[in-house]
């Protein structure tokens, strides 16, 4: 990490009080996750069940009628090109959807509707150095996905991504919601004309975890995390999926007691007598290994997008100490440093990816490296506009809760789909 940072006059890089930061980010996630629940509690439950296939043959993606056209060549571009290294460039065409055309945007990410005044942040797209990254083509994507099933497995950032994808796909076809869990954290949609099933599965650790939250979303005890056991919520459905998008991240920073073989092996910041402190990155590494080993050993073969962690952009404080994110444009390369905690996580991710990628035993593993390009977008978060018109009837200087972690829709996260499509077509 030898990037110069040209932001000496801001306190953007907070290297002190790291443990505090971990805990704060974690709580922030909890709270945001919780409030989500209320918003959707008025949705209607539709209980049709889509029985997925028993495919044991994997992707690489099906050749499709439209894909044989020029598109494929453009998407493939130069195969050596690293699509994750590049810059954000102006895009006057703007987003493919708005709060008016897409009706599934979650309230907390619906920045337009919530009254965010600036709009510059939606006029950028990711542009790799050295090759062209075509805009996500919803029809082409759905052709590739015919008779297939894709699942996003992770935390609320995964849900954020799925919602972006849904909005863009809705230009080609409206999805039918066919399932949601009690807390509206896991959902499933069906695209009828394409026989395509899209799921999001809430599994913030990917592992078996007992999470103690009361009804206010506040934790009443350390999480119990089993580093050698997977979360059955996704494993039980695994054989239904042809494509999975997995990610870990910030939940691993929380206070937790770690188990292996059902025995406590240590904990992270639990301060319990006779319990060894174990760094979160150890747990994270073990978790990723457990997940990737499972995929390798499985009879069922999948195409796996392994998404790296995404940074938050709280400035001059944390989420609960007045931190905010009111920048209105992207950073250029070199203008910002990754925080230590994000660097540690991404390093673990890259190492585990490198270890696994050549030995996937029939499945495919692709690195979906969102960390750096996300770091460059401090302007893409809801900030105070996670709430509807937060300053109405209030002094503008009053502090309201900011969200500098999730992404506005439309917003920078839409570009993630451009990158996903490119990986998909490269096979
Ligand atoms: C492919 O590109 C050529 C020229 O670039 C164009 O004339 C042709 O219509 C395109 N074909 C399709 C199917 O888009
Ligand atoms: C979309 O946001 C605009 C404000 O930018 C608002 O006037 C409009 O009512 C919103 N539309 C919907 C359907 O929420
Ligand atoms: C839908 O796709 C599944 C495989 O995912 C296949 O078994 C099934 O026959 C397809 N249904 C239709 C109507 O094409
Ligand atoms: C999808 O499944 C249906 C029914 O099994 C089959 O007729 C069709 O050829 C399949 N399409 C593709 C692209 O696999
Ligand atoms: C868990 O059990 C397995 C097999 O019994 C053993 O190989 C492994 O070392 C144990 N791990 C721990 C942390 O005790
Ligand atoms: C910690 O270990 C010591 C020595 O084995 C024991 O005396 C003490 O009771 C233990 N404390 C707790 C809280 O288990
Ligand atoms: C490869 O996959 C098969 C199932 O298809 C499994 O039986 C075998 O153990 C796997 N090999 C490794 C090295 O994981
Ligand atoms: C962001 O907020 C700070 C503190 O209120 C203010 O000093 C700064 O000018 C704001 N920046 C922008 C781009 O609005």
Render pLDDT for 12-34 as a digit per residue (tens, 0 to 9).
333 333 444 444 444 444 444 43
pLDDT at 78: 67
Range in 137-146, 207-216, 339-348 with the lowest mean pLDDT: 207-216
Does any domain span residue 192? Answer: yes
In angstroms, how far is CA 291 from the centroid of its own chain?
17
Residue 245: beta bridge partners? 152, 305
pLDDT at 292: 98
Segment 107-134 mean pLDDT:
95
pLDDT at 71: 60
pLDDT at 75: 65
* Residue 397 CA, closest ligand 8 atom number: 5
pLDDT band at 165 (very low <50, low <70, confident <90, very high): very high
Cβ–ligand 2 contact at 298 (below 6 Å): no
**Residue of 155, 342, 369, 403 marked catalytic:** 403
* Residue 301 CA, closest ligand 7 atom number: 5
Q: Is 347 labeled as catalytic in the residue annotation? A: no
- Give the count of beta carbons closer than 10 Å to the beta carbon of residue 61: 20
pLDDT at 373: 97
Each residue's pLDDT tens digit, 231-247 = 999 999 999 999 999 99
Does any domain span residue 273? Answer: yes
C-alpha pair distances (Å), 157 with each of 89, 150, 370, 371, 415:
23, 16, 12, 12, 14
- Nearest ligand (C-alpha, residue 150): 3
Residue 44: pLDDT over 50: no
Q: Which domain, by its residues, includes 84?
A: 18-426
pLDDT at 64: 47
pLDDT at 271: 84
Each residue's pLDDT tens digit, 297-344 = 999 999 999 999 999 999 999 887 889 999 999 999 999 999 999 999
**Which residue puts its alpha carbon closest to atom 10 of ligand 5?**
261
Q: Is 403 labeled as catalytic in the residue annotation? A: yes
The kind and range of the H/E element at 235 are helix 232-235
pLDDT at 77: 64
- Are 224 and 256 a contacting pair, CB within 8 Å? yes
**Which residue puts its alpha carbon closest to atom 8 of ligand 7?**
297
Does any domain span residue 105? Answer: yes
**Residue of 108, 180, 313, 406 marked catalytic:** 406
Quote the CA–CA distance of 67 and 147 in Å, as a whole number: 16
Does any domain span residue 10? Answer: no
The DSSP line for 125-183 is: EEEETTS--PPP-HHHHHHHTTT-EEEEEESHHHHHHHHHHHHHHTTT-PPEEEEE-TT
* Residue 112 CA, closest ligand 2 atom number: 5
pLDDT at 290: 98
Quote the CA–CA distance of 180 and 424 in Å, as a whole number: 27
Considering the chain, what is the average pLDDT of its residues?
Answer: 84
Residue 190: beta bridge partners? 176, 197
CA–centroid distance, 378 to ligand 7, in Å, is 43
Going through 159-293 in order, the beta strands assigned E by DSSP cover 176-180, 187-191, 196-202, 207-210, 223-230, 243-247, 256-260, 263-268
Residue 268: pLDDT over 70: yes
Quote the CA–CA distance of 59 and 363 in Å, as a whole number: 9
CATH code for the domain of 273: 3.40.50.1110
Q: How many domains does the chain have?
A: 1
Residue 354: pLDDT over 70: yes
Q: Is 406 labeled as catalytic in the residue annotation? A: yes
Predicted structure pTM score: 0.84
Nearby residues of 279 by Cβ (< 8 Å), 6 or more positions away: 268
Quote the CA–CA distance of 384 and 398 in Å, as a whole number: 11
Mutate to test the pocket of ligand 2, among 94, 113, 170, 382 (most ligand atoms within 8 A of CB): 113
Cβ–ligand 6 contact at 274 (below 6 Å): yes
At 393 the three-state DSSP class reads coil
pLDDT band at 181 (very low <50, low <70, confident <90, very high): very high
CA–centroid distance, 157 to ligand 1, in Å, is 37
Give the phi and the psi of residue 260 in degrees, each rounded to 5: -135, 145
């Amino acid at each position: 990490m030898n990037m110069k940072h040209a932001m000496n006059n801001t306190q953007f890089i907070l290297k002190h009080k790291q443990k505090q930061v971990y805990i704060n980010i974690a709580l922030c996630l909890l709270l945001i996750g919780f409030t989500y629940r209320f918003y959707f509690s008025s949705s209607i439950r539709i209980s049709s069940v889509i029985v997925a296939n028993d495919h044991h043959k994997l992707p690489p993606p099906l050749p499709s009628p439209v894909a044989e056209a020029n598109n494929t060549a453009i998407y493939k571009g130069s195969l050596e090109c690293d699509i994750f290294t590049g810059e954000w460039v102006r895009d006057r065409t703007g987003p493919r959807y708005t709060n008016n055309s897409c009706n599934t945007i979650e309230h907390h990410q619906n920045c337009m509707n919530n009254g965010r005044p600036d709009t510059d942040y939606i006029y950028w797209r990711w542009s790799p150095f050295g090759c062209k990254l075509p805009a996500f083509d919803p029809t082409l994507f759905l052709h590739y996905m015919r008779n297939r099933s894709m699942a996003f497995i992770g935390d609320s950032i995964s849900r954020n991504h799925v919602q972006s994808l849904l909005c863009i796909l809705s230009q080609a076809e409206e999805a039918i919601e066919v399932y949601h869990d009690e807390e509206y954290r896991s959902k499933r949609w069906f695209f009828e004309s394409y026989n395509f099933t899209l799921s999001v599965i809430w599994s913030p650790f990917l592992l078996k975890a007992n999470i103690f939250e009361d009804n206010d979303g506040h934790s009443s005890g350390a999480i119990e995390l089993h580093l050698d056991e997977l979360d059955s919520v996704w494993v039980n459905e695994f054989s239904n999926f042809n494509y999975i998008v997995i990610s870990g991240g910030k939940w691993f920073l929380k206070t937790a007691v770690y188990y292996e073989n059902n025995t406590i092996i240590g904990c992270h910041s639990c301060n319990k007598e006779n319990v060894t402190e174990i760094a979160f990155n150890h747990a994270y590494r073990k978790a990723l290994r457990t997940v990737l080993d499972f995929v390798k050993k499985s009879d069922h073969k999948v195409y796996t997008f392994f998404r790296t962690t995404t940074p938050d952009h709280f400035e001059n404080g944390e989420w609960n100490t007045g931190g905010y994110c009111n920048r209105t444009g992207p950073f250029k390369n070199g203008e910002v440093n990754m925080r230590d905690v994000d660097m540690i996580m991404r390093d673990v991710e890259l190492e585990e990816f490198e270890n696994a990628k050549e030995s996937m035993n029939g499945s495919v593993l692709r690195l979906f490296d969102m960390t750096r390009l996300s770091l460059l977008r401090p302007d893409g978060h809801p900030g105070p506009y996670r709430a509807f018109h937060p300053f109405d009837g209030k002094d503008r200087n009053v502090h309201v809760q900011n969200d500098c972690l999730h992404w506005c829709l439309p917003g920078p996260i839409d570009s993630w789909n451009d990158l996903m499509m490119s990986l998909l077509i490269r096979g």
